[in-house]
Homo-oligomer: A and B are copies of this chain.
């Protein structure tokens, strides 16, 4: 593609493709994965070996003109310099969306919505203050932008927005500013992408230990603004736990929360900012818990005869003395997908070698129902051995078997590649998306089975072939997250309607079975219709009062989490007072 070499935006800030996930030039391939195409053909009825029609030229897009006023431009340029105030069409389109499947489908179809009028790149908190002051002075809207990987519509201006829209790309604020060795705390700028942050921390022997699937294309500020959770949250905690202090630029003032291990200073302002998705202000930096790189880091693979057996093992594990860094169990469908996605020469297929299969068969396991599990360990060699011993006994009690650390190591290397599959499938007309929830242990099986059934029923009703799979991850004392991935074979122009039916069925099943709207993706616009069922109308009322009180003009990312519309223009709240 001619676009692939185009260099857009400031040199120091990485930008995703305008049309899909991640960097130009990186795409999913099933080379050396002989089981992949047959698997997709079987579960979705699509032959991915056929050439995919790809017509994506940026020039074909009809990008609405920027409505930036001369006065706002002048103020912004005065503060940041010409180089960091950009209204180039491609940059504006890149910042018009996150990277949810709905976003990808729309941008490919040229349905651009309310594209921001300008993208600004602050290099300091002072720059952010200048931007916010200038925007608020003209009653413009500001939307913070990190890695751009949001999948719940949190980066997008409301379609009916008539005010100027300023997207604030935080990418230049990408430094680890300070490490407090004694306290295990680091002060880090909000705009740093995951890998850039870990490189800086690792160089001094530290890690944040926060590795969400979006790691490559998400930032510290984005994690905080959306209540992110990383793969190793069992050990390191969700970002809400990791974040001990922060700074946020508001209209006319700067919030300063010093790093504290704990506090009883009233309702937690820290916990109000975490998950606020830009509605209270622009997070500029945070103090976060960091940890010494462990002596040993190991991910062990296990097989359970069924997903239910795996769920029961994880339930027991959560109540035990063991404290692993990762707990993950894939249901039968995700296990089959994992094996189909394994390289011929790789370890995922290797773990299902003849010897392992023979053991399973001898145990009377149904190979279509087996559940692959990963458990992570970190610490000294002694500690890892001790923890593995504790977990091994629990796994055995639930009929599971260990199959070594090779597959886990591979999963660890490849986990960030998964989102590229979405674009590959979309090239073939298949929308694929994810929905995750958290629920108490007692409801894990119920919510899994009912959600799969609800999604399947929605697909059947729509008359499309579809596939849904799930894994457990992120264990807590009282429950865990379940993460569903689904795809539908509907390449029609109306496939977003089909997608909506399935997505809605899944979200409603979360509500009906004791789950939350989202464990770690946030609310945005996508999940807000279910919020009153999640936290009750009184909970939405409390959030609304917070937003309206702090930002009465709705200048800060309006419409996200709760959509009360734009003052004087619209209101389509699900929960009017």
Set of chain B residues within 8 Å of A318, measured between Cβ atoms: 184
- A199 proximal to B (CB < 8 A): no
Given A259-B440, A261-B478, A550-B542, verify A266-B531 contact (CB < 8 Å).
yes
Contact, CB under 8 Å: A477 / B250:
no
- A265 proximal to B (CB < 8 A): yes
Name the residue of chain B whose CB is nearest to the CB of A266. Answer: B561
A491-527 interface mask toward B, CB cutoff 8 Å, 1 = contact, 0 = none? 0000000000000000000000011111111110001
Name the residue of chain B whose CB is nearest to the CB of A387. Answer: B321
Query: In whole angstroms, how far apart are the Cα atoms of A481 and B262 in the complex?
Result: 8
Contact, CB under 8 Å: B266 / A268:
no
- A546 proximal to B (CB < 8 A): yes
Name the residue of chain B whose CB is nearest to the CB of A380. Answer: B321
Contact, CB under 8 Å: B274 / A538:
no
Interface stretch of the complex, out of A275-283, A336-344, A415-423: A275-283
Contact, CB under 8 Å: B261 / A477:
yes
- A258 proximal to B (CB < 8 A): yes
Count of interface residues, chain A, beta-carbon cutoff 8 Å: 94
Set of chain B residues within 8 Å of A527, measured between Cβ atoms: 265
Contact, CB under 8 Å: A266 / B275:
yes
- A368 proximal to B (CB < 8 A): no
Per the 8 Å Cβ criterion, residues 19-48 of A in contact with B are none
CB distance from A327 to the nearest CB of B (A): 12
Contact, CB under 8 Å: A542 / B272:
yes
Query: In whole angstroms, how far apart are the Cα atoms of A442 and B287 in the complex?
Result: 14
Per the 8 Å Cβ criterion, residues 243-257 of A in contact with B are 244, 248, 250, 253-257
Set of chain B residues within 8 Å of A548, measured between Cβ atoms: 549
- A396 proximal to B (CB < 8 A): no
Contact, CB under 8 Å: B440 / A264:
no
Contact, CB under 8 Å: A538 / B477:
no
Interface stretch of the complex, out of A223-231, A301-309, A424-432, A450-458: A223-231
CB distance from A455 to the nearest CB of B (A): 21
Set of chain B residues within 8 Å of A476, measured between Cβ atoms: 261-262
Q: Which residue of B264, B321, B441, B515 is within 8 Å of A226 (Cβ)?
A: B264
Contact, CB under 8 Å: B535 / A261:
no
Per the 8 Å Cβ criterion, residues 173-201 of A in contact with B are 180-185
CB distance from A446 to the nearest CB of B (A): 11
Contact, CB under 8 Å: B259 / A478:
yes
Q: So how many copies of this chain end up in the complex?
A: 2
Contact, CB under 8 Å: A260 / B438:
yes
Query: In whole angstroms, how far apart are the Cα atoms of A319 and B255 in the complex?
Result: 29
CB distance from A401 to the nearest CB of B (A): 23
Q: Which residue of B319, B481, B531, B550 is within 8 Å of A265 (Cβ)?
A: B531
Set of chain B residues within 8 Å of A537, measured between Cβ atoms: 253
Most chain B CB within a 10 A radius of its CB, from A184, A250, A254, A438: A184
Query: In whole angstroms, how far apart are the Cα atoms of A476 and B527 in the complex?
Result: 33
- A534 proximal to B (CB < 8 A): yes
Set of chain B residues within 8 Å of A541, measured between Cβ atoms: 253, 550
- A56 proximal to B (CB < 8 A): no
CB distance from A434 to the nearest CB of B (A): 13
A222-241 interface mask toward B, CB cutoff 8 Å, 1 = contact, 0 = none? 00001111000000001010
Given A265-B516, A268-B272, A534-B265, verify A182-B258 contact (CB < 8 Å).
no
Contact, CB under 8 Å: A478 / B546:
no
Contact, CB under 8 Å: B272 / A523:
no
Query: In whole angstroms, how far apart are the Cα atoms of A267 and B271 in the complex?
Result: 6
Set of chain B residues within 8 Å of A240, measured between Cβ atoms: 268
CB distance from A403 to the nearest CB of B (A): 26
CB distance from A275 to the nearest CB of B (A): 5
Set of chain B residues within 8 Å of A238, measured between Cβ atoms: 262
Set of chain B residues within 8 Å of A538, measured between Cβ atoms: 248, 250, 253-256
Name the residue of chain B whose CB is nearest to the CB of A521. Answer: B264
Name the residue of chain B whose CB is nearest to the CB of A254. Answer: B538
Set of chain B residues within 8 Å of A259, measured between Cβ atoms: 440, 478
5 A/B residue pairs, CB under 8 Å, sorted by A: A184-B441, A248-B538, A261-B438, A264-B519, A545-B545
Q: Which 9 A-B pairs have the closest CB atoms?
A: A545-B549, A271-B271, A227-B264, A261-B476, A183-B440, A261-B479, A255-B538, A182-B442, A263-B516
